[in-house]
Amino acid sequence: YISVKEVAKHNLSQDAWVIINGKVYDVTHFHEHHPGGAAVIVSNAGTDASEIFNSLHPPGTIENHLPPECFKGRIDPAALAKANAARTAEKQRTLAARNALPPVETILGLDEFEVGETSVMSEKSAEYYRGGALDGISKDDNKSSFKKCRLVPRVMRDVSTIVPQTTLFGLPSALPVYISPASNAVLGHPDGELNLTRAAAKTGIVQGVSYVASYPLVDILDAKAEQDEREGEPMGMVYQVYVRPDRVKTAEMIRTAIDGGCRALLVTVDSNIGDFRQSVEKLKGTTGDAEPGRRMQPFTTFAPPHDPSLNWDDLDWLQGIAQDVPIYLKGVSSVEDVRIAHERGVKGCILSNHGGRQLDRARSGFDSLRRIHEQDPALLQKLEIYVDGGARRGTDVLMALALGARGVGLGRPFLFAQAAYGERGAIRAVRILEKEIVTAMQLLGVSRLDELRPEMVECLGEFWK
């Protein structure tokens, strides 16, 4: 028998197993083609989906649609019954927790969403959102890096009219922030990424869509089309590209995104191999190898979801697929890499350490921006620079803009907001940022974003110069 514990490890869109009528199936590469949508599968990944499956499908459906190699084995019936009882109790707990949440209008800061998110999700799912690589140093540093700086306001300026609108990735945006692409939003709420699409369209900000979103790309693009029709104008959407070993599949996904209205490609460059998020793996019950290793032999064999051979020369291939759609590199930290990106004709760079989920101790996006400002500020005029990671306040956003960033991406706050409150939570998150940005602009003495200046920010190490 396959253990229930083993099945539970495979509970993500990029690694999805389900139990159906006592049998275990790997549906990782099937769910995005599921006629009923991927969300119903991903939301049940790692668990027994027999009840909902049998209510919707006739006998023989699996045999007719899944190849034999997707069958992994049988589950222990006694262990499954015990696990299902525990799952039922957990569903009742989360339902009660969701009903007990305070009204979304009472949420006054982005960090408050995380409290609500934690109560309505399982411990494993919540840790997937919160977790960072290894010791979580980079994850924590993303937020704390903003605390190293303070603002220097100007006074006696007319701030009776405030204009926070801007252009991000070549798209109009109501605020200098965008929703960073992130995976598995459905772990927090059944509508997952669709909550974010609707909220972005209704508030006028740009949504980044992940290659590994829990909903299939076509479903998200359909939701975009519905919102475009309802709002009377196209919403801003950009697509995060992970270059996979199957380059044909990667190219196909890029073309689908562009045809569906995505107006920029964010090519992920800091995630060419898998990560190790220790806290998440602990909850999964992952074990390691205690056998002798390969000693002096090189490591050349990997089975990552992404292509570890990705390099600068691949930009020509990517631009050939994208045609006139601009390419941005997501996950850059080094000033030298930003220079190379400019030389290679890239439209811009997103300074990020992947939310602290890849290389622990990697520099934060905001600190990378500071380094560019100190070492080569002319770069900030040559290509678009964005900061992704750690921002939780409107003042964080304005500090980044003052130092030369065009915009700031937020990922976890929007995941937390939609997990707790769905679409309305994501909208509330935007309104919180709007109020904080507008208020801070007035207090800083600027009426437009282009009036922000580097001298309005001073950081640790500069205080006593």
- Residue 388 in domain: yes
Q: Quick one: pLDDT at residue 465?
A: 44
Q: Quick one: pLDDT at residue 413?
A: 96
Q: What is the pLDDT along the chain (465 residues), one digit of tens a residue?
A: 899 989 988 988 888 999 999 999 999 888 877 776 677 888 888 999 888 888 778 788 888 888 899 999 999 888 889 888 988 888 888 889 988 999 999 999 999 998 877 788 888 888 888 888 888 899 989 999 999 999 999 999 999 999 999 999 999 999 999 999 998 898 899 899 999 999 999 999 999 999 989 888 999 999 999 999 999 999 999 999 999 888 999 999 999 999 999 999 999 999 877 666 666 566 556 555 556 555 556 655 555 567 889 999 999 999 999 999 999 999 999 999 999 999 999 999 999 999 889 899 999 999 999 999 999 999 999 999 999 999 999 999 999 999 999 999 999 999 999 999 999 999 999 999 999 999 999 999 999 999 999 999 999 875 444
Q: Quick one: pLDDT at residue 55?
A: 76
Q: Are residues 190 and 316 in the same domain?
A: yes
How far apart CA 463 and CA 447 sit, in angstroms, is 26
Domain boundary among 57, 76, 99: 99
How far apart CA 136 and CA 144 sit, in angstroms, is 12
How far apart CA 380 and CA 368 sit, in angstroms, is 12
- Residue 105 in domain: no
Catalytic hit among 10, 31, 354, 373: 354
Could you tell me where the DSSP H helices lie in 152-191? none
Classified as helix, coil or strand, 75 is: strand
| Domain harbouring 33, CATH code | 3.10.120.10
Q: Quick one: pLDDT at residue 282?
A: 60
> What is the span of the domain harbouring residue 135?
130-284+305-459
Task: Name the DSSP letter for residue 2.
Answer: B
Q: Are residues 366 and 249 in the same domain?
A: yes
Q: Are residues 276 and 403 in the same domain?
A: yes
- Residue 109 in domain: no
What global pTM score does this model have?
0.86
Q: Are residues 143 and 243 in the same domain?
A: yes
Q: Are residues 90 and 178 in the same domain?
A: no
Task: Name the DSSP letter for residue 363.
Answer: P
Q: Are residues 30 and 146 in the same domain?
A: no
Q: Quick one: pLDDT at residue 56?
A: 77
Q: Are residues 216 and 349 in the same domain?
A: yes
How far apart CA 28 and CA 38 sit, in angstroms, is 10
Would residue 10 show up in a list of annotated catalytic residues for this protein?
A: no
- Residue 113 in domain: no
Tokens encoding 75: 């589950």
Q: Are residues 262 and 399 in the same domain?
A: yes
User: What is the distance, to the nearest Å, from the Cα of residue 95 to the centroid of all Cα atoms in its chain?
Assistant: 25
How far apart CA 306 and CA 385 sit, in angstroms, is 25
Q: Are residues 85 and 150 in the same domain?
A: no
Q: Quick one: pLDDT at residue 276?
A: 64
| Domain harbouring 325, CATH code | 3.20.20.70
Domain boundary among 99, 117, 149: 99
- Residue 119 in domain: no
Cα→Cα distances 192→184, 258, 404, 465, Å: 7, 21, 33, 48
Q: Are residues 325 and 443 in the same domain?
A: yes
Domain total of the chain = 2
Q: Quick one: pLDDT at residue 31?
A: 80
